[in-house]
């Protein structure tokens, strides 16, 4: 539950200031009910992709689907207004993949988002090889408009 913030104006203040107090409190109450201050992201997830993919912890996530090596679809409990939202995240690469190389590049990317599903993908590229890999830690958070 959102913490309510109250503006208090001394009762000896002019009437216009007392009306301002009421208006500010109504506005703050509306903001607090629209956005839970403890959960600014609309959804987030922490996943272990190794073997059978599992959710370590999440918010507004009903389930995940293993779609391929290094790829996870995240199904949101309450969808968003549209697919025009932002996904941020990252992953930890496994030390044995890829081969050690000074030109190693790790990449986290998303695509095929819908109003109720976003996907997380982890991969690598270096002088020797490139591809996706399952990670024991991949995370993503969504910021967008509610439905």
pLDDT along the chain (147 residues), means of 10: 51 56 52 53 92 93 93 92 90 64 64 88 74 85 86
Identify the pLDDT of residue 106.
67
pTM, two decimal places: 0.68
Burial class of residue 102 in the structure, from the number of CB atoms within 10 Å of its CB (0-12 exposed, 13-18 middle, 19+ buried) = exposed
Identify the pLDDT of residue 54.
95
Identify the pLDDT of residue 32.
44
Q: What is the 3-state secondary structure (H, E, C) of the chain?
A: CCCCCCCCCCCCCCHHHHHHHHHHHHHHHHHHHHCCCCCCCCEEEEEECCCCCEEEEEECEEEEEEEECCEEEEEECCCECCCCCEEEEEECCCCCCCCCCCCCEEEEECCCCCCCEEEEEEEEECCCCEEECCCCCEEEEEECCEC
Identify the pLDDT of residue 33.
47
């Amino acid at each position: 539950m959102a913490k309510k913030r109250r503006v208090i104006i001394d009762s000896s203040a002019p009437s216009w200031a007392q009306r301002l107090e009421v208006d500010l409190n109504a506005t703050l109450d509306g903001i607090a009910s629209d956005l839970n201050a403890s959960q600014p992201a609309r959804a987030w997830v922490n996943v272990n992709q190794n073997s059978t993919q599992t959710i370590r912890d999440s918010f507004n996530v009903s389930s995940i689907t293993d779609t391929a090596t290094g790829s996870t679809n995240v199904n949101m409990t309450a969808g968003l207004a549209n697919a025009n939202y932002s996904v941020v995240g990252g992953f930890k690469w496994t030390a044995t993949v890829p081969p050690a190389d000074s030109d190693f590049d790790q990449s986290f990317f998303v695509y095929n988002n819908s109003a109720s599903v976003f996907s997380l993908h982890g991969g690598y590229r270096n002088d020797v090889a490139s591809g996706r890999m399952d990670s024991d830690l991949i995370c993503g958070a969504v910021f967008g408009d509610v439905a």
